[in-house]
Amino acid sequence: MDFAQTEEQRDLAALARRILTERVTPDRLAALEAGVLAGTGEPRFDRELWAELAKANLLGVGVPAEYGGLGYGVLEECLVLEEAGRVLAPVPLWASATVAAGAIAAYGTEAQRRDWLPGLVGGEKIVTVALAEPRGADAAAPATTATRLAGAGFGPDGGVGPDGGVGPGGGWRLDGIRTAVPFATVADAVLVPARAGTGVGLFLVDPAAAGVTIEPQVTTAREVAGLLRLDGVVVGDDALLGGPASTPEGDAAAVAVRDRATLGLCALQLGVTERATRAAAEYTSNRQQFGRPIGSFQAVGHRLADCYIDVEAIRLTMWQAAWQLAEGWDASAAVATAKFWAADGGHRVASAVVHVHGGMGIAEEYFVHRYFLHAKQLEFTLGGAGEQARRLGDLMAATPAPDHVV
């Protein structure tokens, strides 16, 4: 495996870094967070930055060129997400431009791709992903249900009719609760995995549909997410990614979306932890105590050395998983390994960075504390270290040993 970046990949990362570092500053983040903490209901969403990223076509990195995107793949998406994590970018790059856009491009019908992808690339539309459940441990094994419907009350196209029913063209009833749905309060649609018979279907749900309620939530990282309730929500077959011809008979698509989403979190965590470690290195090089920089003290130096090792472990395992996905391999084990390090190593880095900053590390108005909050949120999103270890154990147990092993 070769992790060396191509010239195009370096240029893409440099473009993302330039735009993000110029526009995302601690003062700008503080202003956005002030509205969240004041309870105004405004999301931590920089629309001007979103428009600038769309102008640079950074919202369509993995979208095929025929729908307005750049036509790259998972490696390039991770490069951009790493840069977003480095500055704690207040935009739905992970949820909308990566996970949702990737799922629609990979599994959507031609009509679904035409309806959604150009708008996602241009920044006019936002599709978020509802992957977490209050007591769910695996985004690919949801408790949310999709029940097949047929009956009266249908429109001429066999879709949802005037009275909310569905006709012979088919349809679904969705029931369940999803939590911590990113940017749910500003999304045009929510991608919801739901148990449908013998498999898992991916459904595009209109937040304004009957039976859908979204309750704003404020996350650890001071982002406005949403508690999504689906109570007898009726959708047509056109809401199912792939349409009626893809009636779920397995979990492959759900697993692929879960793995792609989890990998994106690892890329964000790499950016968060690397920037936090560099901030700690700079601080301890300049902070004087007993006539010496505190970074020269052995205890401080050792902690930062451990941070460096953890960051490099997050980097290595993330790129290994990304490479396997880019090659079309079954990368579930590699993704779980990467998320284990992103969670476990991210926890150690976040704690150490706060510690070596002393009182400054716990001051909420100081920018370093923001990195602690984001690292903690990323640690637990879609499963912490314990959940990833259990998933790895299950994968190993399900893999038959070679015949020659006794």
pLDDT band for position 178 (50/70/90)?
Answer: very high
7-125 belongs to CATH 3.30.200.20: no
102-161 per-position pLDDT tens digit: 999 999 999 999 999 999 999 999 999 999 999 887 999 999 999 999 753 444 344 444
Q: Is the pLDDT of residue 162 over 50?
A: no
Q: Domain-by-domain residue ranges, the chain? A: 7-125, 129-250, 253-397
pLDDT surpassing 50 at residue 188: yes
Token pair of 96 as six digits: 């909308």
- Rounded to whole angstroms, how far apart are CA atoms 240 and 237? 5
CATH topology agreement for domains 7-125 and 129-250: no
Superfamily of domain 253-397: Butyryl-CoA Dehydrogenase, subunit A, domain 3 (1.20.140.10)
Q: Ramachandran region of residue 318, left (φ > 0), alpha (ψ -120 to 50) or beta?
A: alpha
The whole-number pLDDT of residue 107 equals 95
Which residues have a Cβ under 8 Å from the Cβ of 263 and sit 6 or more positions away?
Answer: 74, 78, 318, 321, 322, 325, 331, 335, 338
* Pairwise CA distance, residues 180 & 130, whole Å: 8
pLDDT at residue 41, as a whole number: 62
For residue 111, the SS3 value is: helix
Tokens 């510690």 correspond to 355
Tokens encoding 366 = 């100081």
**pLDDT tens digits, one per residue of 239-278:** 999 987 677 766 899 999 999 999 999 999 999 999 999 9
Choose among 84, 99, 108: nearest CA to 129.
Answer: 99
Angle (CA) 379 36 218, round 5°: 40
Instruction: From 140, 138, 135, select the one nearest 202 (Cα to Cα).
Output: 140
**pLDDT at residue 160, rounded to an integer:** 42
- CATH dotted code for 129-250: 2.40.110.10
Q: Give residue-wise pLDDT tens across range 277-321.
A: 999 999 898 887 888 888 888 889 999 999 999 999 999 999 999
Residue pLDDT, tens place only, 314-349: 999 999 999 999 999 999 999 999 999 999 999 999
CA distance 41 to 58: 27
Amino acid of residue 36: V
Confidence at 400, pLDDT banded by 50, 70, 90:
confident
Q: Report CA 157 to chain centroid distance, whole Å.
A: 35
Quickly state the pLDDT bin for 85 (edges 50, 70, 90).
Answer: very high
Q: How far apart are CA 356 and CA 377, in angstroms?
A: 21
Task: Determine how many CB atoms are found less than 10 A away from the CB of residue 298.
Answer: 7
Q: What is the pLDDT of residue 364?
A: 82
Between CA 340 and CA 299 the distance in angstroms is 26
Average pLDDT over residues 211-232: 96
Angle between the 332-356 and 367-380 helix axes, to the nearest 10 degrees?
150
Among 62-71, 242-251, 334-343, 376-385, which is the least confidently predicted range?
242-251
